[in-house]
């Protein structure tokens, strides 16, 4: 599929002209004063998520230009190609079908998704594996002897399940503890192992490739620990979640749940990689999680551009990155259980869109992925919100608010919601104080995503929303959001440096690396 480079479209020129004439001076406060229905115009309901975009530096006219940009860049056609199972991950010649992992069995749906029949075989495999994995999850839940589940994986094989298990803690069975070991730093595994007994532990070795050095090193150490502690039944205490079933077998693991090369690592939470979540919240909860995501998929696939939330968010990201020049986005979930959500989104956005060449390998002359960072509210308020309110750089903030709490502690929820509303309000309204230390410039943009409750369904929808908004900006930029070649060089060099640390050979190293190597060996 040939795609027009975004900066060569007439919509891009129109956006540039709009930016030059008035966009750069846009003031959200004045926009609210002029337009009594601005909130309605710039907010919308999507499945399980309400979004208020009205505090952004954006009006309906700019949105129309951004929609034109999406059309000229072929974003809808690109989206349809993804939903038709085409190999849009061009550098790896793979389809991109994480959405299929949450598609209901064909027999159960009356879908207008005409392309679904072309991937019917894959869909059947998805459900066979899902059923087997959920039956296993139930068996683990029923196994009273297993008290600790240790997920060993990194990147998408860690961040997704860790984020979701933490987020849905209120739905988890209390009798199992979950541990996530990702870092090759032995301190992490060591600290976990010290709390465990082999007979009550289940290790899940989660790795799409089953070759990632950190995961393999941790898995080998876990296996050695298990044997050294007198553990015998490896089949019962180890399971592998991988596309590389052969490698798992060679490693000595017989219980394996597979997935496919058309599932990217950072999009794999919906596959067997989600097993820790399925054990935590149970098969029914996991199916609700998938169903919430599927509802968002259908919204993204079918809603008109102007009322399509992933489209609107992804296009807003382009407006901010390429016209306003904002370099980052701060993620502020006002729910303590969403504490791993910013880290999860970092990989999703930055590993997907942190690219400097387009899908054809040509360097692009415009900015791509912003940096993402954040902490749950209200903690962030007492750390870096100073900079958000009064720093020189403008950083758009994306709040997540959750209306209903699942605890009964008096006063907390109202205070929490008051804080998230007040922060968004303060960022936009600012406060005039004769330009001194107490002056807040205001007009600082934010988006507000509102969930009624944090449940498996709403979390599924929220995460699918984020996946698709990343798709949209990546698609406008014309990059391949589904590869990650940028992680390769460090991996290769680490192998070389590991050998040098052991043998002391510093030949042909740069002066700094050679100097540090010598210090580390002394």
Of 154, 397, 426, 459, which lies in the binding site for ligand F6P, with binding defined by CB under 6 A?
Answer: 154
DSSP 134-202: HHHHHHHHH-TT--EEEEE--GGGTHHHHHHHHHTGGGS-TT-EEEEE--SSHHHHHHHHTT--GGGEE
The answer for 448, left when phi > 0, alpha when psi is -120 to 50, beta otherwise, is beta
Catalytic residue among 438, 491, 495, 498: 491
List own/partner pairs for 321-324 with CB under 8 A and 24 or more apart.
Answer: 321/367, 321/368, 321/369, 321/370, 321/473, 322/6, 322/366, 322/367, 323/15, 323/16, 323/19, 323/23, 324/19, 324/24, 324/57, 324/394
Task: By CB under 6 A, tell whether 301 contacts ligand F6P.
Answer: no
Task: By CB under 6 A, tell whether 4 contacts ligand F6P.
Answer: no
Residue pair 398/334 in contact by the 8 Å Cβ criterion: no
Active-site residue flag, 382: yes
Residue pair 298/285 in contact by the 8 Å Cβ criterion: no
**446-451 and 49-52 beta bridge pairing:** antiparallel
Q: What is the x/- site pattern for ligand F6P, positions 23-62, by CB under 6 A? A: ----------------------------------------
485-514 residues near ligand F6P, rule: CB under 6 A:
487
Q: Look up tokens 């999680």; give the residue.
A: 289
| Beta carbons within 10 angstroms of residue 458's beta carbon | 21
173-192 residues near ligand F6P, rule: CB under 6 A:
none
Q: Which two tokens stand for residue 229?
A: 């502690």
Of 208, 237, 329, 500, which lies in the binding site for ligand F6P, with binding defined by CB under 6 A?
Answer: 208
Q: Each residue of 294-321: b (16+ CB within 10 Å) or e?
A: bbbbbbbbebebeebbbbbbbbbbbbbb
Nearest approach, Cβ of residue 449 and ligand F6P (Å): 24
Q: Look up tokens 């930055």; give the residue.
A: 350
Which region among 132-140, 151-159, 355-363, 471-479 touches ligand F6P (by CB under 6 A)?
A: 151-159
Active-site residue flag, 197: no
The site for ligand F6P, by CB under 6 A, has a size of 14
Of 201, 207, 271, 352, which lies in the binding site for ligand F6P, with binding defined by CB under 6 A?
Answer: 207
CB closer to ligand F6P out of 137 and 216: 216
Q: What are the distances in angstroms from CA 97 to CA 92, 123, 160, 447, 448? A: 14, 10, 17, 28, 28
Nearest approach, Cβ of residue 137 and ligand F6P (Å): 19
Which region among 33-41, 148-156, 283-291, 401-409 touches ligand F6P (by CB under 6 A)?
A: 148-156
Task: State which H helix or E strand residue 256 sits in.
Answer: strand 256-258
CA distance 473 to 471: 6
Nearest approach, Cβ of residue 217 and ligand F6P (Å): 12
Task: By CB under 6 A, tell whether 340 contacts ligand F6P.
Answer: no
The answer for 248, left when phi > 0, alpha when psi is -120 to 50, beta otherwise, is alpha
| Beta carbons within 10 angstroms of residue 4's beta carbon | 15
Which region among 177-185, 187-195, 205-213, 449-457 touches ligand F6P (by CB under 6 A)?
A: 205-213
CB closer to ligand F6P out of 166 and 212: 212
Nearest approach, Cβ of residue 471 and ligand F6P (Å): 16
Task: By CB under 6 A, tell whether 151 contacts ligand F6P.
Answer: no
433-452 residues near ligand F6P, rule: CB under 6 A:
none
Task: By CB under 6 A, tell whether 155 contacts ligand F6P.
Answer: yes
250-279 residues near ligand F6P, rule: CB under 6 A:
265-266
Task: By CB under 6 A, tell whether 156 contacts ligand F6P.
Answer: yes
Task: By CB under 6 A, tell whether 162 contacts ligand F6P.
Answer: no
Nearest approach, Cβ of residue 77 and ligand F6P (Å): 26
Catalytic residue among 24, 34, 117, 382: 382
Active-site residue flag, 351: yes
Task: By CB under 6 A, tell whether 91 contacts ligand F6P.
Answer: no
Catalytic residue among 351, 375, 398, 467: 351
Chain centroid to CA 145: how far?
A: 33
- The catalytic residues are 351, 382, 491
Q: Which residues form the interface with ligand F6P (CB under 6 A)? A: 154-157, 207-209, 212, 215, 265-266, 351, 484, 487
């Amino acid at each position: 599929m040939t795609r027009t480079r975004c900066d060569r479209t007439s919509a891009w020129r129109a956006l540039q002209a709009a930016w030059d004439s008035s966009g750069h001076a846009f003031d959200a406060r004045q926009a609210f004063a002029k337009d009594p229905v601005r909130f309605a115009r710039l907010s919308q309901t999507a499945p399980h998520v309400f979004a208020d975009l009205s505090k952004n530096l954006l009006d309906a006219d700019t949105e129309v230009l951004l929609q034109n940009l999406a059309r000229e860049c072929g974003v809808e056609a690109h989206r349809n190609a993804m939903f038709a199972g085409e190999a849009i991950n061009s550098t790896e010649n793979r389809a991109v079908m994480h959405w299929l992992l949450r598609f209901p069995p064909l027999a159960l749906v009356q879908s207008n998704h005409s392309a679904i029949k072309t991937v019917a075989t894959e869909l059947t495999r998805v459900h066979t594996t899902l059923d087997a994995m959920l039956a296993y999850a139930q068996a683990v839940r029923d196994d009273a002897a297993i008290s600790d589940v240790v997920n060993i994986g990194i990147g998408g094989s860690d961040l997704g399940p860790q984020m979701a298990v933490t987020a849905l803690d209120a739905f988890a069975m209390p009798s199992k503890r979950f541990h996530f070991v990702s870092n090759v730093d032995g301190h992490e595994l060591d600290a976990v192992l010290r709390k465990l007994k082999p007979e009550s532990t289940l290790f899940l070795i989660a790795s799409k490739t089953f070759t990632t050095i950190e995961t393999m090193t941790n898995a080998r150490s876990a296996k050695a620990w298990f044997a050294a502690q007198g553990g015998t039944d490896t089949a019962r205490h180890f399971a592998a979640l991988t596309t590389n079933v052969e490698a798992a077998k060679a490693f000595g693991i017989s219980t394996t749940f597979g997935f496919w090369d058309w599932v990217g690592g950072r999009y794999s939470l919906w596959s067997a990689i989600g097993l820790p979540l399925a054990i935590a919240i149970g098969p029914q909860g996991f199916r609700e999680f998938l169903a919430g995501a599927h509802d968002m998929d259908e919204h993204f696939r079918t809603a008109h551009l102007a009322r399509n939330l992933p489209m609107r968010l992804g296009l807003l990201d382009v407006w901010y990155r390429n016209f306003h020049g904002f370099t980052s986005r701060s993620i502020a979930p006002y729910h303590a259980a969403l504490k791993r959500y910013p880290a999860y989104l970092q990989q999703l956005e930055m590993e997907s869109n942190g690219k400097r060449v387009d899908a054809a390998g040509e360097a692009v002359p415009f900015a791509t992925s912003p940096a993402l960072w954040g902490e749950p509210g209200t903690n962030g308020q007492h750390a870096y919100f100073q900079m958000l309110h009064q720093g020189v750089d403008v950083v758009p903030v994306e709040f997540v608010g959750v209306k209903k709490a699942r605890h009964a502690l008096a006063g907390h929820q109202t205070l929490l919601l008051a804080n998230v509303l007040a922060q968004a309000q303060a960022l936009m309204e600012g406060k005039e104080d004769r330009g001194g230390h107490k002056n807040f410039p205001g007009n600082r943009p934010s988006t507000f995503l509102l969930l009624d409750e944090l449940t498996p369904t709403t979390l599924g929808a929220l995460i699918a929303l984020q996946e698709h908004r990343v798709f949209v900006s990546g698609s406008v930029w014309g990059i391949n959001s589904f590869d990650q070649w940028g992680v390769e060089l460090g991996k290769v060099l680490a192998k070389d440096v590991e050998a040098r640390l052991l043998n002391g050979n510093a030949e042909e190293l740069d002066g700094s690396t050679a100097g540090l190597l010598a210090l580390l060996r002394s």
